[in-house]
């Protein structure tokens, strides 16, 4: 169990991370199951469990639970919001996979490849509706002002995520290729950081009744963690082995996805190379063949763009580590704080 006592008994480092994640995931999946009405299972609700039941870390709900407990809040209060964060995450993944034309998710076919785009869109919409309702229904025990603040954060999360996705689609679909690193950071902050790190941390702290003064450092921590996480994800997509990674290798290039790597390469390339790359990126995803991907890779390697991205990820990691260190001013020692520190290592050293 993910309780103070049992968690302090467990060993340090990687197994603390693995154990904490496993325990949190089990609780969260159980709570998600309890949200599903006992009707229309085969055409709607059972399909909602498809992504959550695939092999996944369930990092986001664990973060929410850990920060809440680290601030002295209860597991009971944090569980429903944490489970709802996981539900939102999976609903976003379903729609993103359609939008990005992704073929694989967690090593299995993307949901729209199993059930078709229409059913996948509707299952995602149903999950958003269920998440919203379950959050409100499952938090009536919180103090009204705290509950309102939690609901505000979740509302904000939906907006930020849609804006982030819009910026990314503008890149891939409308050829807005002239992005600076700042533009990229803004995109990632909205698209990844918010629902993966900022919202789980803010929600967990809010539930525990933490002093609002910590919202600013928590927001920063979430941003740094998210940026490091996303850049590493992008590097892994280009360099990782397909199996442990569980997504299409070089899928980002195939999808024409906006990454720091690709943007650095575009910016550094001479006019001929840049025009050639942009011409390739303007093709529909299905139109980019192996030769196109090799061309993009060549330009990326020519300009050391992967090393450039690695350095940027390291800077973000450094900032996250410094913010985490400072959190010792307001977070008492606990297994939960240890877990948060272990997450920092995972985000930047993971092989998933």
Tokens of 129: 């509706």
Q: Which is nearer to a copy of itself, 98 or 104 (CB)?
A: 98
Tokens of 87: 């539900």
Specify the DSSP element, H or E, that contains 45.
none
The distance of Cα 146 from the centroid of its chain, to the nearest Å, equals 24
Are the beta carbons of 93 and 105 closer than 8 angstroms? yes
Specify the DSSP element, H or E, that contains 105.
strand 104-105
Q: Please report whether residue 144 would count as binding a copy of itself according to CB under 8 A.
A: yes
Binding residues with a copy of itself: total (CB under 8 A)? 44
Q: Please report whether residue 159 would count as binding a copy of itself according to CB under 8 A.
A: yes
Phi, psi values for residue 105, rounded to 5°:
-145, 120
Q: Please report whether residue 279 would count as binding a copy of itself according to CB under 8 A.
A: no
Q: Which is nearer to a copy of itself, 175 or 244 (CB)?
A: 175
CA distance 41 to 325: 46
The CB-of-163 to a copy of itself minimum distance in angstroms stands at: 5
The CB-of-159 to a copy of itself minimum distance in angstroms stands at: 5
Q: Please report whether residue 169 would count as binding a copy of itself according to CB under 8 A.
A: yes
Q: Please report whether residue 161 would count as binding a copy of itself according to CB under 8 A.
A: yes
DSSP assignment of 256-306 equals T---HHHHHHHHHS-HHHHHHHHHHHHS-GGG--HHHHHHHHHHHHHTTHH
Contact region for a copy of itself (CB under 8 A) — 11-19, 144-152, 267-275, 299-307?
144-152
Q: Helices 181-188 and 215-239, interaxial angle, to 10°?
A: 110
Q: Please report whether residue 143 would count as binding a copy of itself according to CB under 8 A.
A: no
Contact region for a copy of itself (CB under 8 A) — 5-13, 157-165, 296-304, 316-324?
157-165
The CB-of-90 to a copy of itself minimum distance in angstroms stands at: 14
Are the beta carbons of 235 and 170 closer than 8 angstroms? no
Q: Which is nearer to a copy of itself, 203 or 344 (CB)?
A: 203
DSSP secondary-structure letter at 11? -
Contact region for a copy of itself (CB under 8 A) — 39-47, 64-72, 193-201, 290-298?
39-47
Are the beta carbons of 281 and 177 closer than 8 angstroms? yes
Q: Please report whether residue 119 would count as binding a copy of itself according to CB under 8 A.
A: yes
Q: Which is nearer to a copy of itself, 160 or 341 (CB)?
A: 160
Query: In the complex, which residues of this chain contact a copy of itself (CB under 8 A)?
Result: 37, 39-40, 43-44, 95, 98-101, 116-119, 121-123, 125-126, 128-130, 132-133, 136-137, 144, 151-152, 155-156, 158-159, 161-163, 165-167, 169-170, 172-174
């Amino acid at each position: 169990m993910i309780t103070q006592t049992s968690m302090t008994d467990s060993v340090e480092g990687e197994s603390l991370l693995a154990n904490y994640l496993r325990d949190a995931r089990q609780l969260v999946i159980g709570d998600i199951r309890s949200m599903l009405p006992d009707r229309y299972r085969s055409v709607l609700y059972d399909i909602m469990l498809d992504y959550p039941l695939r092999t996944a870390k369930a990092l986001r709900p664990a973060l929410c639970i850990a920060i809440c407990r680290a601030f002295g809040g209860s597991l009971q209060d944090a569980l429903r919001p944490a489970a709802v964060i996981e539900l939102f995450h999976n609903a976003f993944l379903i729609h993103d996979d359609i939008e990005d034309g992704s073929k694989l998710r967690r090593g299995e076919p993307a949901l729209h490849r199993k059930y078709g785009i229409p059913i996948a869109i509707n299952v995602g919409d149903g999950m958003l509706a269920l998440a919203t309702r379950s959050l409100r229904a499952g938090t009536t025990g919180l103090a009204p002002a705290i509950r309102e603040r939690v609901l505000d954060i979740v509302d904000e999360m939906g907006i930020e995520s849609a804006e982030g996705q819009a910026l990314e689609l503008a890149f891939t679909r409308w050829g807005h290729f002239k992005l600076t690193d700042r533009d990229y950071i803004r995109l990632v902050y909205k698209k990844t950081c918010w629902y993966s790190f900022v919202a789980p941390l803010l929600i967990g702290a809010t539930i525990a009744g933490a002093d609002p003064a910590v919202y600013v450092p928590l927001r920063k921590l979430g941003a740094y963690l998210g940026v490091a996480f996303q850049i590493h994800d992008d590097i892994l997509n280009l360099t990782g082995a397909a199996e442990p990674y569980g997504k299409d290798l070089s899928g980002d290039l195939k999808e024409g996805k906006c990454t720091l790597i690709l943007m650095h390469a575009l910016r550094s390339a001479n006019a001929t190379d840049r025009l050639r790359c942009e011409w390739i990126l303007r093709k529909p995803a299905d139109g980019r063949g192996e030769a196109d991907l090799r061309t993009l890779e060549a330009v990326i390697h020519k300009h050391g763009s992967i090393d450039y991205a690695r350095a940027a990820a390291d800077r973000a990691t450094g900032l996250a580590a410094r913010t985490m260190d400072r959190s010792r001013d307001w977070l008492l020692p606990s297994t939960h704080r240890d877990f948060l520190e272990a997450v920092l290592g995972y985000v930047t050293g993971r092989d998933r």
